[in-house]
Each structure stands twice: as C-alpha cells, then as structure tokens.
Amino acid sequence: MARLVEVAKLGKEFANVRALDGVTFDVEAGEWIAIMGPSGSGKTTLINILGGLDTPTAGRAVVDGTNVATLDENGLTRYRSEKIGFVFQQFHLVPYLTAVENVMLAQYFHSTPDEAEAREALGRVGLGDRLTHLPAQLSGGEQQRVAVARALINHPKLILADEPTGNLDEANEKIVIDLFHQLHTDGHTILMVTHDLSIGCLADRRIELAHGRLLQILRARPGI
Amino acid sequence: MFLRLLWNLLRASRGRLTVALVAVVSGAAVISALINLDLDAGKKLTREFRTLGANLVVEPPRAPGTGPTAPALLDDAVLARVTALRTPEVVAEAPYLYVVAQAGGRAVVVAGTWLDEARQLEPWWKIDGEGVVSRDDLSRCLVGQNAARLLVVAPGSPLELRSGERSVQLTVAGVVNAGGAEDNQIFVNLPVAQQLGGLGKQFQVVQVSVAGAGPAIASYAARMAAALPGIEVRPVPQIAEAEGLLLARIRWLILSMELLILVLTALCVLATMAALAMERRQDVGLMKALGGSISRVTNLFLAEAGVLGALGGLLGYLLGMGLSSWVGRRVFDAAIAPRLEVLPLTVALMMAVALAGAFPLRLLGKVRPAVILRGE
C-alpha cells in the first residue's frame, strides 16, 4: 500500500504549552487509524494539523504529497476542501440548512453543488427519507450520519473523525461505527480520535499519545 | 447554491435583520424624502420667495443730473410691450403711479396700479373687508390701515379723493394691513390715479415678480431690456441675493441632514450586524473548516447586507415619497411629485450604508476554525 500520511517530528506549542512534541508516524492509504490518549494528550491538535485547521510549530505533516506546514491561508483552504473530510463530535451542521443542503455546502466550497449526488450520499448513510429535515429535526445519530455524508461527498483522500460517537447513545454509536467500518472496507483512509478502546480496537492500528508525545503504536489483534 | 444559502441565511436571522431593516427603511424614507424635496425645493422655494414681492422693476431712464423732483414717466406703449413679453416665469406684474391727493382734509398718497395683480405682488397683505379683484373696477379702493384710522373709514365707507380741480368718488372695499409704508396709502386702479394726477395714460414704474433664483431673474431682465430699448430694467438686488443665499443655505441644511441620517443608519446597522457576527462565528468556523474561502464566506454575508440595503432602500423610497408629498403640502402648500430617479439613488445609498454597517461581518473572515470548533 502507498503511504498517504507522513508525520515527522511534529510539534505544536500554544504560548508556553507544548501540545505536540516530536510526533512521528506514517499512515498507508486505506488504513483505519485510531488515535487514543487521555485529555490534553494532543489528539485533537494532531487531527487539526492534519486537517489544515491549525499549523505546526515544528516538523512535517505531509498528506497526499502536500506538506501542511508550508501552506498559507489560501493553500490550507484549498487543501481542506480537496483532501480532507471532517466528522466532528458535535456534528457541526449548519442549523438553518436541511440535511441535503448541509451536504451540498461542502460541494459548494469544493466545486459545484450537485443535489442529486448529495441525495445519493445521504441515501448511502440511510437518510434517504430525511433529506429536507433541519438538523434540529434529526436525532444525534442521524445528524452524525449527515456529517459523514458531508465528509465523503468530495471524495477526500483522508477522513478525520474527532470522537464521532462521543455524543451518541449506544444504538446510534453502533450505526455510526458500522458506517465507518463500511468506509474502511470501501478503501477510505480514516484517522479517528476516540477514548473508547472497543472502537480503537476496530482500527488497523492504534496511536497512543500522552502529554503531546507518541507513546506507542499498536496493531490490531487478529480476529477483533 | 449561493442564492439558496443566502435565502436560508436571511430566513435564519430574520429577527435581527428585521431590526436592521427597520433602521435602513427609516433612513431611506427620510433620505429619499429629502432628496425629492431638494430636487423640487428650488422650484417650490422660488415660488415661496415670490411672497417677498417684486424682484424686477421697469422704470424710465435716469438722465444724469435728474433729481427725484422731476420724475420721468412711462406710457401705455411700454406697458403693452411688457405685457406682451410675459412668460410663465412671471408670477405677477403691475404698473404703479403715485399721486398726492386730499381726502377728508388730509394729504394722502394714492397708488394707482392693477389691483388684481398687486394682490399677487404683495401677497402678505391682510385685508379687512374685500379685495378688488378686477383692474376695471374704478369705483372701489383699498385703504391702508393707518390712513383708514386717520380718515375714519371702514369697508363700505364712501371716500372722496381730490387733486386740484379733479376729484373721484370711491367706496372703501377693504382696509389693508401690510406692515409697512403701504399702511399710509390708498390703493386704486391705475385709471383712477391717472385721472387724479391728470397724467393721461402714464405711470412711473412696472414692478415684476419673476420665479427663479438670481440667474433666472437676471436672464429675464436681460430679455426685457433687449425688448425695451431706452427703458431701465433692473433686478432688485437685495431680494435676488437674499433668495439665492437662502436657497443655498436650505440646500446645505438638507445635505447635512442626509449625511447625518446616513451615518446614523450605518451605526444602527453596525450594531445589529455586530451582534449577528457574534452569532455566526460558529457557522463561519464550520464553513472555513469545510474549505470555504474567506472571500466566498464573506461575500455571502456581504450579499446579505446588500439585500438588506436594497430592500430597505426600496421600501424606504416608497415611504419617503409619501413623506415628501406630506411635507410639500404642509410647508409649500403644494404636493411634491415623486421622482423615479430618486429610487436608484436611495437604493445605492442604502446598499452602501448597509455594506459599511456590515463591517463586523467582514471580521468573520479572521475567524480561526480550529478555535471555533473547539467551542471557544
């Protein structure tokens, strides 16, 4: 498999706080990586840098041949729209747009909105009958599935999920994790921050962070 | 998608935007009314200025060394030419002949004129009794209030005027309160004064009231002078200059008010948009995280401000036209017609004001998505 992500001696400092300190790892295309660690270990900072939402203060973060550290504001915007699909813990849907419009919003910022394609994407996550519902009219699980459809609509190279089941009940958590499982099976590359070891164990590898440093990288046990 | 987003954005923030819209509509209404008034003010005000009296006089040439004791006179031929030259710009014109006569044993100044026109030349007159509405009425007169008191006459009283061997019997139609020298005079139609003075068809001066500011009056005077060679035609400079000065000051006042209202409207929009910007930080952070460029995101919000300005300008224009019509009736006693050319000007001004007021929304371009999405 080809290497999609290369993180080398990555560092990030906020004021006097070192959020990431010399983190190094690679991700192959099609891999599902779980990033784990206690609060304040630098998981979200790592995801934000890889997603082009933040810039590192040291090291390299190369995604699909693009070193995020060297991009300016416009370059980061283009990078986010072309290479990254985000799924957030808080869903982050635009409250006054319907499910299909939320998906089309990502298309709009990427290139040209295609409503038929957006409807199809929502159909694939089981929301074909909730297209014109506003986020407030959807359950948490449904909102997160809209977010997944939105993340996938522009065919990103890398899906970054920050605790995507953190706000869901057990039933919805299973639906969303099954969805990620399916994405992985379909060949998508996923980096997922999670506190839940049972979810972490579903990934191909677990990267564990502590105090901004890479603690260990664990391969999934066969059969899990 | 842009229009769809814009529509949803407008619907989602309709509460706050309604507040901003009310500010823009109010500002636009007053501004469009003022612009409409300003465009019409020249015409309306110069008509109002005509209440100041004549601003042009036609009189015999002043020969060098000729004193006031030997006044030259004009004749009917000049009056015929003055009348033939009359254009719609002329509000009123009338010949005047002043003679001294005896009434009730007292010497009084009798002014012979066209009493129907004199009423328009001197519209500030207050008349107790009746006016004389025809220049052919040779049996009635108007008496200034001081003269009426001295002669002990009232409307309906008989009055005999004598000048040497000549005399006329008149009836007092009304008593004039003019607040000036006219209060000491007696006003009769021109033939009566000519008969008293034994002057045939002669008179001393023609007074003309021309609508328009200084240049219009000067232009009309030049046309008359060209048509009346040897006759002196001159504007009354104090009145013409006062009119021009007052008009300029009123225009300046209107312009100042327009600027003040534009600033106040922009401040109202600014306050509303600042609150809206705070509400939208989350949406903007998300849009930027999804790959929305600063220009695309801010253009969306600026378009929203533009719609606000355009809609406010349109509604304000409609209200403003009603307002200017009402002001016209109240102030100038004449409706001011709505002018369509004020519409694009009002809309453009309001869009500019709304865009200036939307400055806080432009600051949303500086929102850092990572910070917003962390919930900070």
Residue B138: both structure tokens together: 């040779």
Summarize the confidence of residues B306-335 as an average pLDDT. 86
Among the partner residues B2, B11, B293, nearest to A96 by beta-carbon distance: B11
DSSP state of B228: S
Asked if residue B49 has pLDDT above 70, the reply is no
Task: Kindly report, residue by residue over B269-290, the tens digit of the pLDDT.
Answer: 888 888 887 888 888 888 888 8
Q: CA nearest A83: which of A4, A201, A12? A: A4
Judged against a pLDDT cut of 90, whether residue B45 lies above it is answered with no
User: Are the beta carbons of A122 and A146 closer than 8 angstroms?
Assistant: yes
B133 Cβ partners below 8 Å, 6+ apart? B115, B116, B119
DSSP characters for B83-108?
HHT--TTEEEEEEEEEEEEEETTEEE
Out of A49-58, B52-61, B344-353, pick the least confident.
Answer: B52-61
At residue B356 the predicted structure's pLDDT band, cuts being 50, 70 and 90, is confident
Q: Tell me which DSSP letter residue B203 carries.
A: B
Q: Which of B173, B102, B115 is nearest to B142 (CA)?
A: B173
Whose tokens are 């401040």? That residue is B267
Interface of B with A (CB under 8 A): 1-2, 4-5, 8-9, 11-12, 282-283, 286-294, 296, 368-370, 373-375
What tokens were used for A219?
A: 């391969």
| Contact (CB<8Å) B290/A107 | no
Q: Quick check: B5 and A97 CB within 8 A?
A: yes
Distance of CA B170 to the CA centre of its chain: 40
Higher pLDDT, A147 or B359: A147
pLDDT of residue B310: 93
Separation of CA B320 from chain center = 18
3-state helix, strand, coil in chain A (%, to 5): 35, 30, 35
Q: How far is A223 from chain B (nearest CA, A)?
A: 36
Of A53, A96, A154, the CB nearest to B289: A53
At residue B89, the pLDDT reads: 81
Least confident residue range of A19-33, A55-69, B84-98, B321-335: B321-335
**Quick check: B106 and B150 in contact, CB under 8 A?**
yes
For A92, the closest of B2, B370, B373 (CB atoms) is: B373
* Other CB atoms within 10 A of residue B123 CB: 14
Distance from CA of A78 to the nearest CA of B (A): 6
Note the pTM of the prediction, 2 decimals. 0.65
Three-state DSSP at B240 gives helix
Cα angle B235, B238, B241 (rounded to 5 degrees) comes to: 85
Side-chain half-sphere CA neighbours of B117 within 13 A? 20
Q: For the packed helices A99-110 and A140-152, what is the interaxial angle rounded to 10 degrees?
A: 20
Determine the average pLDDT of the residues in B130-134: 89
Question: Closest-CA residue in chain B for A94?
Answer: B283
Report the alpha-carbon angle B322-B328-B332, nearest 5: 170
pLDDT of residue B224: 86
The confidence band for B46, taking pLDDT boundaries of 50, 70 and 90, is low
Mean model confidence pLDDT for chain A: 90
Residues of A in contact with B368 (CB under 8 A): 53
Of A82, A90, A101, the CB nearest to B8: A101
Q: Which residue of A has its CA nearest to B292?
A: A109
| pLDDT for residue B156 is more than 50 | yes
Across the interface, of A78, A96, A108, the residue whose CB is closest to B1 is A108
Hey, is the C-beta of A81 within 8 angstroms of any chain B C-beta? yes
The predicted model gives A203-224 an average pLDDT of 83
Question: Is residue A132 within 8 angstroms of chain B, CB to CB?
Answer: no
Summary mean pLDDT of chain B: 84
Label residue B59 by pLDDT band (50, 70, 90). confident
Contact of A82 with chain B, judged by CB distance below 8 Å, is answered with yes
Tell me, which fold does domain A31-57+72-219 have in CATH? Rossmann fold (3.40.50)
- pLDDT at position B42: 64
**pLDDT for residue B191:** 93
pLDDT (tens digit per residue) in B66-109 = 554 445 788 888 888 888 888 888 888 899 999 999 888 888 99
Residues A130-149 have pLDDT tens digits of 999 999 999 988 999 999 89
By C-alpha distance, which of B34, B200, B64, B173 is closest to B115?
B173
Task: Give me the pLDDT at residue B200, please.
Answer: 85
* CB-based contact B291 A73, cutoff 8 Å: no
Tell me how far apart the alpha carbons of residues B302 and B324 are, in angstroms, rounded to a whole number. 31
Give the three-class secondary structure for B361: helix
pLDDT for B224-254, tens place per residue? 888 888 888 887 766 666 666 777 788 888 8
Above pLDDT 90, what percent of chain B? 22
> Between A and B, how many CB-CB pairs are < 8 A?
71
Per-residue pLDDT band at B39 (split at 50, 70, 90)? confident
> Strand, coil or helix: what is B131?
coil
3-state secondary structure of B59: strand
Whether B30 and B323 have beta carbons less than 8 Å apart is answered as yes
Mean pLDDT of the region A106-134: 91
Provide the CA B85 distance to its chain's centre, in angstroms. Answer: 25
CB distance B223 to B178 below 8 Å:
no
Top-confidence residue, B376 or B54:
B54
pLDDT at B87: 84
- Does residue A175 have a pLDDT over 90? no
pLDDT at A224: 44
Q: What is the distance between the alpha carbons of residues B107 and B128, in angstroms, rounded to a whole number?
A: 23
